[in-house]
Amino acid sequence: MAAISCLALFFGNLMSGYLMERFGRRISLLFVSLFFLLGWCIIGFANNILHLVLFGRFITGICQGWLGPLGPVYVGEITTPIYRGFFLASLSLGIAVGVFLSHLFGTFLHWSYACQLCGLFPLTAGIILFFAPESPAWLASINRIDDCISSFQWFRGASPAMKLELEKMLAEQSKRDKSKSKFETLKENIKKPEFWKPLCIMVTFFAITQLSGVNVICAYSTDMMKKLMGKRAKDSHAYAAMLSIDVLRCVSLIIACILLRRSGRRPMSLFSGVFTSLSLLGLATYLYLVDKNIIHHISPFISLSLIAFYIVVSNMGISLLPWNMVGEVFAAETKGIGSGISVMMTSISFFATVKTAPAMFESIGHHGTYMFYGLSTTFGTLFLYFCLPETKDKTLLQIEEYFRYGKKRNTTEKDVIDI
C-alpha cells in the first residue's frame, strides 16, 4: 500500500518531460489536476475494495511523478531571479503542508472521507491554472513571440529590468537553428555540457535526498514514533508526535523560504547536509546504546529531540533544494528531458528507500538504519561541496552559460545589444 504509489512515480516521470514539451507546461498541469482528482475519487469511493484502492494509489502516484519535474519547471520559468528561490522553495512547503493535512485528516476521519477531502486540492489547482497564462519560455521555444511577450508581462510586469531579461531570452531563442527536427535538436543538445553537467549534479542530489531518509519518516511516521518513544507509548501519543513533526516540518520550510531570499543555495545545502548527517549519526548512536542496554531505558525527550532537530535541518536544504534547483539549472530546450530524468532518479530512490525500510528496521535495527542514512548523507554532502554551483540571483540564461563556459563568462547588457 505504501510502496505502490512510489513505484508509479517512475511512469509519471517518463511521461512528464514529453508532455510538457509537446503540449506546454500549463496544459500538462491541467491534465495532472484532472487525473489527481480522478485518483482521489477512486480511493475515496472504493468502499474497502482493495484492488480499487491500489488502483487509485497508482493513479495518484503517476500524477505525483508527472508533477515532480513539471511544477519546478513552470515555477522557475514564470518567476524573477530575485524571487525564484522563494517560490521554488514554496513547492516543498506545499508538499509538507499536504503531508500534515493528510495525516490530520487520517487521524480524525475515516480514510475514505480523508481521501475525498484530499481531492479538493487538485480541483482548486485546476481552476486556478485554467485562468493562468502559459510559460513564456515555452511559448518562445515554439516561436509564439506575441504570446510569449504577453505572458511574460502578465507574470513579471514591464519594468526595464524585466524588459532586458525578455530581450535576452528572445535573442537567445533567435540564434537557435530551427531547420532541424526536434529529435535532431534534442540529440545535439544532450551532448552539450549545459545538459549533462546539471543532469549529473541533480541526479546525485536527488539520490542524496532520498538516502537521507526524509520520505521514510513520512511513510512510516507512527511506527517510528512508537520506537522513539519507547514501549510505554500509546497509539495516541504516536499520532500526536507525528502531527507535531509535520508542523515542525512546515515551520522549518517557512524559515527556509525566507532564508533563500538572503542566502545562496550552496551554503544552505552544505549547512543542511552536515547537520542532517550529525543528527542521524547521533540518533543511531543513542539507539544503539539503548539496544545494548548501556542506557537502560529510552528517553522520549532525547530521541524525539534528535528526530526534531533532523527534521529542521534536513528541510533547511537537503530535502528542499533539489526541487528548487531542478527548475533552474537546465537550458530551455532540455528542461523537459533533464528535469524528467532527474526526478526519475528520486522516484527510483524513493521507491527503494520506502520499500526497503521495514526490512532494514528488522535486519539491522533502527540504529543501523539511521546509521546507513547518516553515512549516505555525509558522503553526499562531500559531493555537493565539490560540485554544486550557486544559482542565487542569476537569470536562467546566466545559469545555462555557467555550465556551457564555466566561470569565464556571464551575459551582460552589452552582449544583448551586440546580439
DSSP string, 162-192: HHHHHHHHHHHHHHS--SS-HHHHHHHHTTS
The size of the chain, in residues, is: 419
Distances (CA, A) of 6 to 35, 45, 339: 16, 22, 18
Segment-wise mean pLDDT, segments of 10 residues, the chain, 419 residues: 79 88 93 96 88 92 91 90 86 88 88 92 95 92 90 89 84 67 68 90 93 85 79 70 85 88 89 96 93 82 90 90 87 82 85 88 92 96 93 85 74 42
Closest CA to 314 of 347, 360, 271: 271
Residue 294, C-beta contacts closer than 8 angstroms, at least 6 positions apart: none
Q: CA–CA separation, 19 vs 258, rounded Å?
A: 33
Q: If DSSP codes are grouped into helix, strand and coil, which group holds residue 203?
A: helix
CA atoms within 13 Å, Cβ hemisphere of 324: 31
Q: At what angle do helices 396-405 and 193-211 cross, to 10 degrees?
A: 100
Residues 221 and 354: beta-carbon distance below 8 Å: no
pLDDT given at position 374: 96
Burial track 235-270 (b if 16+ CB lie within 10 A, e otherwise): eebbbebbbebbebbbebbbebbebbeebbbbebbb
What's the gap between Cα 403 and its chain centre? Answer: 22
Among candidates 101, 87, 69, which has minimal Cα distance to 249? 101
pLDDT of the residue at 214: 87
Q: Please state, in angstroms and rounded to a whole number, the distance separating the CA atoms of residues 32 and 70.
A: 10
The full set of domains in the chain, from first to last, is: 1-132 (1.20.1250.20), 188-406 (1.20.1250.20)
Long-range contacts at 128-136 (CB < 8 A, ≥ 24 apart): 129/26, 129/29, 129/30, 129/33, 130/30, 132/26, 133/26, 134/24, 134/25, 134/26, 134/27, 135/24, 135/25, 135/26, 135/73, 135/74, 135/77, 135/78, 136/77, 136/78, 136/166, 136/169
Q: Which helix (H) or strand (E) holds 292?
A: none
Q: pTM of the full predicted structure?
A: 0.77
pLDDT value of position 180: 58
Contact 358, 349 (CB under 8 A): no
DSSP code string of 53-95: HHHHHHHHHHHHHHHHHHHHHHHHHHS-HHHHHHHHHHHHHHH
How far apart, in whole angstroms, are the C-alpha atoms of residue 268 and residue 285? 26
Residue 89 corresponds to which cell in the numbers above? 522553495
Contact indicator for 75, 132 with CB cutoff of 8 Å: no
Take residue 304 and report the three cell numbers written for it. Answer: 524525539
